[in-house]
Structure formats: structure tokens, C-alpha cells
Structure 1
Amino acid sequence: MKPAALARIALMSTTFTLLPAAVQVATTAFAQSDPVIYLNQAWSQDDRDWYYHFSQGSAVLSYDIFLHLEVAGGQELFRSDANSERYGLISQPPGSPYNPDGLPIGIGKTTVATPIGDWPVGDYAGPTCAFCHETQLNYKGKHVRIDGAPANMLDLQAYVQALNAALRATLTDAAKFDRLATRLGATSPEAKVTLRERLERQAALTYDYATRSTASPWPWGPARIDALTLINTRMTATLPGIPENTSTPVAPAKPPFLWNAPQGLWTQWSGVVQDPLARNLGETMGVYMPINLRAKTPADGLFESNAHIPELIRVEHQLERLAPPSWPEDVFGKIDREKAKSGKALFVEHCASCHNAWPYRWTEPNKYGKRFVVVGLTPQSYVGTDPTQALAIRPFAVTGPLNNILPPELRGKDAVPMAAFKESIGHAIIGRAVEKLKMTPAEFLDANGYRELPPPPAPDRVYKAAPRDGVWATAPFLHNGGVPNLYEMLVPASERSKKFCVGREFDPIKVGLDVTCGPGTFVLDTSLLGNSNAGHSFQDGPRGNGVIGPLLTDEQRWALVEYLKSIPEEPGRVTPFGGPPETP
């Protein structure tokens, strides 16, 4: 692992301390009390730096505007470390070649090389994969960085609303606008007019995102995003200008962890995707990637996008060699290996039939010779967890101006099934982007992760049960984050916390979030729609309808917690992509 010094101050001379295989700590001479601790996940520092800030094609605001925009209620810069951390982003100092301006993790620069619909040529700031898939666990002043884990502090909904407020305030407050213009060197009346027009056009996109796409009856809070609904609304309602297709995002879920995702048979909580190109490009379609869905025909630019496919292929390959994180005993305490051994036996007995365990069960080789980790797909009716994700997106779509350019089976119809409408739009966008690259068949196969196309039909109303290696670092739990720690995952559902505070400190005892209420915490009410923490219950009674295991003794629960802390048992262990070298 390449050493580098990272702290929330200016880049300074690096010192490094080598610790056990699971841990490396980066410090500076002036930040010894505030280190960033990296675990051995088989990535170099360059891997991390690129992942934190690479361009996936998303364009929120012109880069120069984002650098100099003020918050709504003052003169602090919106991109400042303090404001970024206010909404759960992880600040980074300048110094990395991928982040010369010191933006927080998950925000990078993207270039729109040719005009696409409402997006002119230029450099823009936009989110990357790491925006939602990077975690920092804070404990007693120490900060443990987990690459590829769900963003446990990010409040995306609040961040978008704050960005919208900042843009609206800049457009209505003459002094605030003038300060922005001065920072950008727009001093002449003509330059100010041009800047205002640019700002108004871009602010409209975030206004729509804040007041329509992310508008929900109650706030999601940190660590939760209704990503599937956001993607669907942007592709079927916002971009083509068909507001009737808007769905209200009432099914927030925590972003899944990314280690073993390329190796797994299915991804997403609802087990709907196999092809990584569709998965990764579909994500960017939901977060500000410029796409033209207003032109009349493909010849006029319809389905043109700012897809950065080579970068998405690179990140997928990089994720193929991302190891699940091992528990850092020097930070969170020693693992009781005897207790973990007992927990392993309990896991094999009660959990492994759904949650695959190392060295994993694998599929048979496909026609390309690739095998994939079997991912359990448990019917929602059996596991009994919150069903809202399957109900949030409206079932039918109005086809509007896209009526006559859809596939033959949908063409000419005023309303069609929503899933088919979204899928046809997505295929057209991906097809146009791939065609521009003039990929060879071998390159296209690699981009699709050696999956057989077309993929099998997605299963209906299931929840993914992936291997649990590294799960200790991914609180809160259940797909919707309705359970604060691993211990509560092992009790009868009726005994779980019905309301709890989502804080920023890690709890290494119950393994999850510290639920102590205080300034900066968010109260999660599990009685609200989309927030239920029912199901996945260990209790007496027949299996099914939410009961997935027997009532455990407290000793058994703690043994299982200890086992889950202990996996992966080998720090830096990467799951081989395509299957083990020696297949049975």
C-alpha cells in the first residue's frame, strides 16, 4: 500500500507508522491527534485518490461557480470543509493530482466536450461513486476510512436542498451575486449578464432536483437515499419533460457496499442488475449526467449523453480488487477468537443459507468461463422487511414525446409499463455511448463484466443477501438503515429500537452507530413509511413472514456479533473475479 499523508489541513511532510496487516495510519507532524486510518483493502493510495475524485460524467454546476459559490445564509463558501462536513461529506486537502482544489471525497471535475441539450461545453463539478460509497468511522478522535462502504454520514437530501438554497440566494441577493462575480473575474456589465444567465440555467436543474425529485413527506436523514426512485424520475420525467412520470422517493435505502459487487451474481438491494455497465451508467443517469431526451430524433442528438464509459470500466476493474475491510483491533478493541469461533458455527447453522460465506458458493461457469459468487435473493414475503421499495415507483409511464422512437413493442402507445419505458431509454443511451467508442467485441464483453446478454429477468420483490465479510463497517443495517447495530439484527424485531438517533460516532460494542442523541444527530422514526425495521427476526415460531431464525440466547447473539467482527479473517483478501483458480 502506497503511503500518503492525508489530514484536514494543508498537505505537509509525510510520516508513516506501520501497524498490523489490517491497519495503516497516515499522519502529519501537526496532526498527530487527528489521524486518518486506512485499512488493508488491497488498494494503493493512488487507487484511492483516483476513486475519490474521478469523473463519471455527472455535471451539477460549472466548476468555477462551485468553487466560489457561497452558502445561503452567509459568506462561507459552499464547498468549504466545514460546510461539506455539515452534510456528512469527508473533507480532503489539496495535493492529489486528481483533486488539486481540495474538494471533499465524492466530488470531482468532469468535462462536457460537446454540447448536450442544455449543457454547453465546459468543466463542471459533479459527484463520483465515492460520494455515496465511502465511509469514515469516527471513534474517540480517530477516523477509520473504509473504501467502498456506504456513506454513513452523508445526508444527500439535505445537501441538495442546501445547494438549491445557495443558488437561489445568489440569484436574489445582489451583494452575494456581486461577490461571486468578483471571484470569477466577471466585472463588466456584459460579463455579469452572461454569468447570471449561466447561473440561472444551472440553478434550475438543482431547483427541480430539490423540489421535485428528492421531495419526500419526511426527511431521509443520513446514510439513506432513494436512489432507484431518483434515477427513475430523472430518466422518465425530468429529462424528457414528462412530469406525470414523477414518483415520490419514499423508499430510502443505504447505498450497498461495493467490495465483491463485481464478483456477485446480482447487485442492488432488490437484486435487479447483473451487467456492471448498466449498473454504473444507470447510477450516473440519476445524478446529473447530461443527457439529451428532448431532441426529436437520434439524428438531432436524442439519447446523446456525457457518459464517461472508460472511467466506469476502470472503476469496475478497480472494485474487482477491493478487499472487504478487516476489523482494526488496535482501534476498536481485540476480537475474542473463541467467541468468534462459536459465532461462526451459529452463522453456518442459521445464516449461511442466505448469506454466502467464504470461500463462497459459486455459479457454474457461463459461456465465457466466468463464475460468480452466489448472492441470496430472499422473497420480501419471507424476510418480512420494509416492502416500500417495490411500491415507490409508479407502475405505468406516459410516453409523451418519446412515443414514436421507442422499441416496436412500445411504439405508438400513450402509456406503457414504467419498467419497460425506463429500460428502453437506458438501453438507447448506453447503446449510443458505446457506439461512439467503437469498441471491439472483446472490449464490449469486458465492459459488461463477462455477463451473458440479454440478462435473465430480474426477480420480483426480493432482497439481496450478500456475503457478510466487512459488514461490521456498514451500519446502519437492513436495506433501509432501520436498525442501528448488529446486535439488534439478532433480536426479535419487536424488541428493536423504534426511534433512535443517527450520530457520527462508531459503536464498537454493539457494532454500529452510536445512538446517543445530541447536536448534529438525526432521529430516525421507524414507524414512518419506508422506515420499518420489522422482519429479519430471530424469535420463536414458524419460519417466514419475517421470522428467519430461532430465538437466540444473549450469549449466542454476542458470539455472532464477534464472528461478524472477525470476517474477513485474512486482511486484504480479494475475491477472485470470475471464480477461484481451481474450480471444483
Structure 2
Amino acid sequence: MPLSRALCLVLLAALVAGCQFDARGRSTEMAAFEQAQREGRDAGADEVGATRFLFDDFNGLSTDTLESSAVPWKIAATALVLHQHPGEPPTQAKLLAQLQRHGLFVPTAVANWPAGDSPAFARPMGLVSGPVGRRVPPFELEVATIGCASCHAGALYDADGQPTREAWLGLPNTSLDLDGYADAVLEALRAHRDRRDELMQAIPQLFPGTSERELGTLRRFVWPRLTDRLATLGDGDALPFRNGGPGRSNGIDALRFRLGASVQAAGDAATVSIPGLADRALRSALLADGLYAPADAVRLRPLERDGDHASAADQSRIVGFFTVSTMGVPHAEAPEAMPRVAEALAFLDRHAASPPFPGPIDGALAARGGEVYAQRCAQCHGDYAEAEGRPTLQRFPNRLSPLAGIGSDPGRAAAVDADLLARIRASTLGDYLAAEATRGYVAPVLGGVWATAPYLHNGSVPTLWHLLNPGQRPARFQVGGHALDLQRVGIAGVADGGDWRYRDGYRPWSDPQWFDTALPGRSRAGHEAEVAGLDEASQAALIEYLKRL
């Protein structure tokens, strides 16, 4: 036997025993785009930024991230299809249908694409994948992870409030259910734990062209480690923390996990509603409580569109570290991605202004609503002025509302404790940003508010009408794959006792879940004082104005 081949076999044995090496991959779509640039393709800055937002992995495809957030894509996808369609040939159409059930959105077009036709999508937005491998030892594996657009690209609606297949980069994906997706993959893998050969034979059917090297990697390396891991997991253990259902995320417990701290014991009390990204440059601190701010800047200060505002480069110093909690990137590697993150943020600055409301707007009523907004809302949510046919945010106060004042659920703010802050400061994150427990919530930017239901930081109120009428807020409501209520603005539904459920006959495009406001972190309280005394006419006018933002 030649020495080189013997050495490969020895190294492969070591690999199977425990993956004692590092390998990093690259998103297939992003690699192809960058190769085209090297070969002379003339892509402007906006197209580069939009492509990064959709397809860049930001160092999230590696053997490191396989231990945290990334998945061996072909095994996970094939198991998912076989589990839902036993005895049937696996197809890409069946796979996409299963992914869409969990709010992973496959659009026909991107409405705010900056140059020419938007890309075609063979898989959901933000689900990025690419090959990870080495020649010695022989190792090849397609790895997939969640990227920016999974959470921050949402579906648009038609004039009847029905969801369309068009997407808008910068809107929240209010249907994305990361818990449901992870639980479904775990259930499917567990069902095939003793059926390796059946699964391996189906992979080339679902993914024609899969190489023998990758199939060998899956059999000899991935499958033994995967089955060992499955033996330690119980129901609901697909993730070490919970995100809370459709349209929600849990960055705090995700960061705790990445930094070696124990996650909170109170279920998903730290979860928040995924935010929109309109007018991000007017935020002086990020996250619902203003946890992160640039290390060398005043945390909470007014910013202006034509004056002092945050640059994409400055905010990339913070956003670059979201890859740690979201994609499982080791915190020491996060700074490598910051220049690419800055390109994506610069695109958002220019093209993530909120989409126009799809239904009719009463101009006279909206004008009266603008007066109500100026009197009641502007001091926290910012000053708007007419520009290019609609109100545009000119100045944002970045105002913090203490918990006692706003009355909102304290779970998210309370989750930031001294241990987490100490870990952040001791990590690479501490060299680039300042973290602080603010014990309150920063009023959000309201651009595109009509498309961001449910409302409040924890997503506990289904429509703007319910927000303005605290006594009518439902105890439970459905969320996920929902239609848009064009009058009340938010999740279309009907009252049913104390619940707000979808209308009879409506078929949601993803699996809805019930949001129960009695659970920890999900209280529907908050914002009562700010809306007290608004009569019905003023409420209707204010809602009409908010449709224009």
C-alpha cells in the first residue's frame, strides 16, 4: 500500500474518532457571485450588498459551526422528506413544502432588489449552504445554516391582504418557526436512526450528483457522530434553548450558549419578536433593550437622517457578532466577516425603506392621524416629514423606557445579567462593542409597522387596533402564515371568546401556532398609558397614518 494512501486511511480513522481538524466552506451562491466578479462582472455596491444579505454565510459553514447551528444538509433534508412521505420517492418539491411549513419562505421575486431581475430561488431565502471539505483526510460535506434573510426578509401582501410570493429584504419574517424546523429535523433523524442504508440510498435521489466522497463522509464520519448525539437528546432538545415560535428569536440564550453560560430556565421568557430593519442607521444602540452600542459612542442619543447617524461600518462592529449567536461562529472569528456585513448593511441603508401599504389609505384621515402621532408618539418613535410621497423618519430619539414606566413584560430585559455581561466583555465582542443591562426597552422605529405584526417587543399583540385598545387584547392568538387585516392592521382574524383566530376557510402558507400571553415572557401588558384617552376617531386616524410609514 502506498504511504500516502496509508496516511489518508490513518487520518480518516482519526477523523471518524472525533473530527480533530478544522475545515471551512463557502456559500455556493456567494462563491459563484464572487467568481463572476473576479472574471469581470460589473456589479454595483447595492447588488453586492443585497447578494451578501441573501446568500453570504459570514463564516457560518465549518466544522466548528456543525457543533452548534449548522447541519449536514443532505442527511437532514432527506430524513425530513422520508419521514413525512414514507415509501415515496424523495423530491425537491416535497422538501420545499416541508421547509415552508416552518416559515422558511421561497419567493418568486424580491421586490426591492436593486439591479435588474432578482435571483431565482431553488430553496428558501436565507438558507445558505456550501461544501466543507479537505483533500487530506478525504472529507466532503454540504453544510447548511441560517443566514440574514431567513429572519429579515418577509412576504408582501396583495390588495386584499393575502400573502404573496414576493419578498422584501429588511422586513421581519413573522412566520419563521426555528423551533418547529429544528424539532421536525430531530424527529425525522431519530426515526431513521436504525435505517442508515435506506437514508443513504435516498440522498442521491433527492440530490442528484452527490459524490461518492460525500456519501463516504456521511456514512463513515457524520452518521456515527449523529447517532451518538441522537442518543443523548430527548423530545424538545433539538436546540439548547427555545426561540418561542413563529416570528421570534432568542439571541440572549443563544449567546449564553455560545459563551459557555447556562441558558435561562424560564422557557422562552427572553424571546422577542424579530424586528424590521428600516431606518436602522438612526439607531444608536441595537436590540430591544439597547444592549449593544459601539464601544466609543454614547449609547442612547438622538440621531438624524441628515446629521449624526450610524454608518454601516460602525454598526457592522455590532452586527458582525450576531453571527456568533445565530450561526454559531466562534466569537474570535466574527471580526473577519465585518467588512462583508458592512456591505449588506449599506445596501439596507439605501433599499430597506419600508414597502408601501397594499390597501387603500384615506388621505384626509391619515393627515389627522399625523397630528395625533405628533402629539402622542413622536417623542418616543421619532419625527417624520413628507418626502417622496410618504412620511420619512428624520430624527429618532433612541429613547429608553424603564420597565416601570412602559409596563411591558420584563422577561427579555431581565435576562441580561452580570454573568452574561462579564462573558461578553471578556470575549472578542468586548473589543468592539459595549454591552449594558438597561432594564428597559428602546421604542422601536415604526417604518413598515403595518407589516411587522404581532406588536410590542415580545410580539404579544396581534394588531395595531388591539395595541390601542388594551382591554380588548386577546389572551391567545394564532401567528404564522397569516393574512393582513387591512383595517385593524396586523394579523387578520376574528374574536373567538378570549382568542383571536384565523377566519374560517383561510389556508395559511405556513403552520400557525398559538401565542399564549399567560406564558413567561409573553405578557400582553404595556403601552397602556401612552394610548389612554384616545377616542375611537383618533384611533382610526392614527392607524391610517401608520399605514403610510
Alignment of 1:247-396 (within 5 A): 248-275=267-294, 276-291=315-330, 303=332, 307-328=336-357, 331-332=358-359, 334-358=360-384, 373-392=396-415, 395=417
The corresponding residue for 1:559 is 541
Residues 1:380 and 1:246: Cα distance change in structure 2 (over 3 Å): closer
The corresponding residue for 2:98 is 83
Cα distance between partner residues in 1 of 2:220 and 2:473: 51
The CA deviation at 1:167 is: 3.0
Q: Give secondary structure in 1 for the equivalent of 2:286.
A: coil
Select which of 63, 71, 96 maps to 1:61.
Answer: 71
The CA deviation at 1:566 is: 1.4
Is the Cα–Cα contact under 8 Å of residues 163 and 483 in structure 2 kept in the other structure? Answer: no
Cα-Cα RMSD:
3.9
Q: TM-score, normalised by structure 2?
A: 0.69
Cα distance between partner residues in 2 of 1:174 and 1:212: 20
The corresponding residue for 2:439 is 461
Cα distance between partner residues in 2 of 1:67 and 1:101: 17
The corresponding residue for 1:40 is none
Residues 1:110 and 1:307: Cα distance change in structure 2 (over 3 Å): farther
Q: Give secondary structure in 2 for the equivalent of 1:533.
A: coil
Q: Provide structure 2 residue ranges, at least 5 long, that are not aligned to the other structure.
A: 1-44, 62-69, 111-115, 295-314, 387-393, 494-500
Cα distance between partner residues in 1 of 2:362 and 2:174: 26
Q: Give secondary structure in 2 for the equivalent of 1:524.
A: strand
Cα distance between partner residues in 2 of 1:193 and 1:114: 11
The corresponding residue for 2:196 is 174
Residues 1:497 and 1:557: Cα distance change in structure 2 (over 3 Å): same
The CA deviation at 1:335 is: 0.9
What letter is aligned with 2:53? Y
2:411 maps to 1:420: no
Cα distance between partner residues in 2 of 1:281 and 1:212: 25
Alignment of 1:37-56 (within 5 A): 48-56=50-58
The CA deviation at 1:51 is: 2.4
Select which of 165, 170, 189 maps to 1:148.
Answer: 170
Cα distance between partner residues in 2 of 1:47 and 1:418: 32
Select which of 95, 106, 109 maps to 2:129.
Answer: 109
Is the Cα–Cα contact under 8 Å of residues 270 and 521 in structure 2 kept in the other structure? Answer: yes
Cα distance between partner residues in 2 of 1:283 and 1:509: 36
Structure with more of its chain in helix, by fraction: 2
Select which of 476, 481, 484 maps to 2:459.
Answer: 481
Select which of 135, 143, 161 maps to 1:124.
Answer: 143
Residues 1:205 and 1:223: Cα distance change in structure 2 (over 3 Å): farther
Cα distance between partner residues in 2 of 1:205 and 1:359: 56
Is the Cα–Cα contact under 8 Å of residues 536 and 548 in structure 1 kept in the other structure? Answer: yes
Cα distance between partner residues in 1 of 2:210 and 2:108: 28
Cα distance between partner residues in 1 of 2:442 and 2:516: 24
The CA deviation at 1:327 is: 2.6
Is the Cα–Cα contact under 8 Å of residues 499 and 525 in structure 1 kept in the other structure? Answer: yes
Residues 1:320 and 1:189: Cα distance change in structure 2 (over 3 Å): closer
Q: Give secondary structure in 1 for the equivalent of 2:460.
A: coil
Aligned residue-pair number = 437
The CA deviation at 1:77 is: 5.8
Cα distance between partner residues in 2 of 1:512 and 1:204: 44
The corresponding residue for 2:518 is 527
Select which of 464, 471, 474 maps to 1:494.
Answer: 471
Cα distance between partner residues in 2 of 1:212 and 1:390: 25
Q: Give secondary structure in 2 for the equivalent of 1:172.
A: coil
Residues 1:47 and 1:549: Cα distance change in structure 2 (over 3 Å): same
2:221 maps to 1:197: yes
Residues 1:160 and 1:511: Cα distance change in structure 2 (over 3 Å): same
The corresponding residue for 2:26 is none
The corresponding residue for 2:249 is 225
Is the Cα–Cα contact under 8 Å of residues 112 and 121 in structure 1 kept in the other structure? Answer: yes
Residue by residue over 1:381-429, the C-alpha shift from the partner in whole angstroms, topping out at 9 and shown as x without a partner, is 1010111112345x46xxxxxxxxxxxxxxxxxxxx331113322437x
Residue by residue over 1:32-78, the C-alpha shift from the partner in whole angstroms, topping out at 9 and shown as x without a partner, is xxxxxxxxxxx977764542222222231245545655433435568
Is the Cα–Cα contact under 8 Å of residues 254 and 481 in structure 1 kept in the other structure? Answer: yes
Cα distance between partner residues in 1 of 2:488 and 2:465: 5
Q: TM-score, normalised by structure 1?
A: 0.65
Q: Provide structure 1 residue ranges, at least 5 long, that are not aligned to the other structure.
A: 1-42, 238-242, 293-302, 361-370, 397-416, 432-452, 538-546, 568-584
Is the Cα–Cα contact under 8 Å of residues 49 and 98 in structure 1 kept in the other structure? Answer: no
Q: Give secondary structure in 1 for the equivalent of 2:462.
A: coil
Is the Cα–Cα contact under 8 Å of residues 136 and 144 in structure 1 kept in the other structure? Answer: yes
The corresponding residue for 1:22 is none
Is the Cα–Cα contact under 8 Å of residues 87 and 154 in structure 1 kept in the other structure? Answer: yes
Q: Give secondary structure in 1 for the equivalent of 2:477.
A: strand
Residues 1:282 and 1:180: Cα distance change in structure 2 (over 3 Å): farther
Cα distance between partner residues in 2 of 1:471 and 1:511: 9
2:185 maps to 1:163: yes
Residues 1:109 and 1:310: Cα distance change in structure 2 (over 3 Å): farther
Is the Cα–Cα contact under 8 Å of residues 283 and 398 in structure 2 kept in the other structure? Answer: yes
Select which of 237, 245, 265 maps to 1:211.
Answer: 237
The CA deviation at 1:128 is: 1.0
Cα distance between partner residues in 2 of 1:57 and 1:550: 48
Residues 1:204 and 1:101: Cα distance change in structure 2 (over 3 Å): farther
Residues 1:164 and 1:94: Cα distance change in structure 2 (over 3 Å): farther
Cα distance between partner residues in 2 of 1:277 and 1:105: 21
Is the Cα–Cα contact under 8 Å of residues 171 and 177 in structure 1 kept in the other structure? Answer: no
Is the Cα–Cα contact under 8 Å of residues 58 and 323 in structure 2 kept in the other structure? Answer: yes
Is the Cα–Cα contact under 8 Å of residues 369 and 538 in structure 2 kept in the other structure? Answer: yes
Residue by residue over 1:357-401, the C-alpha shift from the partner in whole angstroms, topping out at 9 and shown as x without a partner, is 2259xxxxxxxxxx98432211121010111112345x46xxxxx
Alignment of 1:20-39 (within 5 A): none
What letter is aligned with 2:534? L
The CA deviation at 1:140 is: 3.7
Q: Give secondary structure in 2 for the equivalent of 1:354.
A: helix
Cα distance between partner residues in 2 of 1:349 and 1:81: 47
The corresponding residue for 1:235 is 259
Cα distance between partner residues in 2 of 1:190 and 1:473: 42
The CA deviation at 1:524 is: 1.4
Cα distance between partner residues in 1 of 2:188 and 2:429: 35
What letter is aligned with 2:175? M
Is the Cα–Cα contact under 8 Å of residues 48 and 344 in structure 2 kept in the other structure? Answer: no
Residues 1:258 and 1:222: Cα distance change in structure 2 (over 3 Å): same
Residue by residue over 1:520-551, the C-alpha shift from the partner in whole angstroms, topping out at 9 and shown as x without a partner, is 432211111111110101xxxxxxxxx22432
Q: Give secondary structure in 1 for the equivalent of 2:347.
A: helix
Residues 1:245 and 1:535: Cα distance change in structure 2 (over 3 Å): closer
Q: Give secondary structure in 2 for the equivalent of 1:171.
A: coil
Q: Give secondary structure in 1 for the equivalent of 2:245.
A: coil
- Percent identity between the two aligned chains: 23
Residues 1:247 and 1:529: Cα distance change in structure 2 (over 3 Å): closer
